[in-house]
Amino acid sequence: MGLFTRRARPVDANTTTATGAGPTAAPHTEKTGRHSIMNKRDRNHVEPTAGALTTRPTFGQWIKGTWLDILTMACMGAIGLGVYNAPPAPSRSFPITFRDGEIVNPDFAYPLRNEIVPIYAAALMATLIPIFIFLVMQIRIRSFWDVNNAILGLLYSLISAAVFQVFIKWLIGGLRPHFLAVCQPNIPAGTLAQGNGYGNIMFDKKICTGNINKINDSLESMPSGHSTAAFAGFIFLDLYLNAKLKVFSNYHPAMWKLIVTYMPVLGACLIAGALTIDEYHNWYDCLAGAIIGTVFAFSAYRMVYASVWDFRFNHIPLTRNVPFSYGEGQTAFHGFHSAIFTRKAGWGTKVGSFGGAPFDAEHGGGAGMGTAGAAAGDALNGHHNGHNNSHYPTDSYSSRHSGGIGRKPVNSEGVRSGDHVV
């Protein structure tokens, strides 16, 4: 499937093959009267085929299919940026010292240091590194729709997770470990009674004398934006690598695939962990960001690919308006059977046998199985669910491959004794 091969016939990306939908091409009629508009609309409509779904559309067709996503991402980005720059909503109280001068909580008295990984660097790494790997994988995969779904899914994950976490920062927040160093509280002698809470030792930011922007930032510690971005981008990349390398699959992969698959997870953990070294976040801030990023990574991946965990389908990009049929084997892959980097155990080929999960064979040979796998599954289970008998092995095949157990006899109407057609 050529990544750079443009379709010979133009199609409407909003309703036809560029996004995997569209009616059968309408018959040609004269451009007269009320039929003129219909002919203009339908002339480019073609029946979606495997080849159409795996070739590159024109830029205009791609825009027509994705403009709503682009608009949504722009709006969410603007909302997130506005909330990020807003001052913290809650008026948070905090202790400084007891009456005898002892520091109440030294966990918020760390010095202000430079960030080991600035937020812009974390966001760029979580975006550009996965995109680079998506493009490198196309050396073998060569599918426009695979890289399209991968990049769009990555952006879904990053932008949605970012907006989610900035709202929590704004409305809930928390004290950064260097809060007191930034606040620089000034409590004149003999005014401790002006505090509140038990013992009048609690204060708010009114006693702070430091830079107001730094004070507001130090009141928005939870969740960690670095951790959210890192996990949203790198966990998505981890899921992509697992699907394309088939690490958790139906064969024994090489160890390097396991290492490569978990390198993004290591990167996300290192970015999050660095925040506890430079005292920009508490450990629980990083944990909250990691959970948010991971949840959105899983959600975004499932939106653009047929599965997250099921090794038979997790490499298949989903199209806009054509549903993926999980029970029809490779014929339902829409030409994406080879959208895989690995070539082991038959993966990436049209005739490879992909095995299948338990009980798949009971339901017509199992989705994702090769022809041989489907036939063997049918023979082992002794029925075909309405498929033509000529596509399946004979009783002798069943006897040889299922421990000598042959097919049940079939009556004149094609129904076996004691079986019910569902």
Q: Convert the pLDDT of each residue in 41-64 to its tens digit.
A: 444 444 445 455 567 788 888 898
d(CA 385, CA 338): 28
Run of H or E residues at 202: strand 202-203
Cis-peptide into 223, omega within 30 deg: yes
pLDDT tens-digit series, residues 228-244: 999 999 999 999 999 99
CA 366-368-372 angle, to 5 degrees, is 70
Q: How high is the pLDDT of residue 396?
A: 41
d(CA 18, CA 61): 7
Amino acid, res. 83: V
d(CA 240, CA 419): 42
Give one word for 334, left, alpha or beta, with left for phi > 0 and alpha for psi -120 to 50: left
pLDDT tens-digit series, residues 234-293: 999 999 999 999 999 888 999 999 999 999 999 999 999 999 998 899 999 999 999 999
Contact indicator for 317, 304 with CB cutoff of 8 Å: yes
User: Which residues, 6+ apart, have CB-to-CB distance to 377 below 8 Å?
Assistant: 356, 360, 361, 365, 366, 369
Q: At what angle do helices 144-171 and 59-85 cross, to 10 degrees?
A: 20
Q: Is 62 exposed, middle or buried (0-12, 13-18, 19+ CB in 10 A)?
A: middle
Contact indicator for 290, 231 with CB cutoff of 8 Å: yes
Q: Is the pTM of this model over 0.75?
A: no
Q: How high is the pLDDT of residue 372?
A: 38
Q: Which long-range contacts (CB under 8 A, 24 or more apart) does 324-332 make?
A: 325/367, 326/367, 326/368, 327/363, 327/364, 327/366, 327/367, 328/367, 329/365, 329/366, 329/367, 329/368, 329/369, 329/370, 329/371, 329/374, 330/368, 330/369, 330/370, 332/367
Structure tokens given for 271: 């970015």
Q: Which residues pair with 220 in a beta bridge?
A: 174
- Rg from Cα positions in the chain: 29
How do the pLDDT tens digits run along the chain, 422 residues long?
444 444 444 444 443 444 344 344 444 444 444 444 445 444 444 444 545 556 778 888 889 889 999 999 999 999 999 998 888 877 777 777 766 666 677 788 888 888 899 989 999 999 999 999 999 999 888 888 899 999 999 999 999 999 999 999 999 988 899 888 888 887 766 555 567 777 677 788 888 888 888 888 888 899 999 999 999 999 999 999 999 999 998 889 999 999 999 999 999 999 999 999 988 999 999 999 999 999 999 999 999 998 898 888 888 898 887 777 776 656 556 667 777 888 888 787 764 445 555 444 444 434 444 443 443 334 434 444 444 444 434 444 444 444 444 444 444 444 444 443 33
Contact indicator for 183, 243 with CB cutoff of 8 Å: no
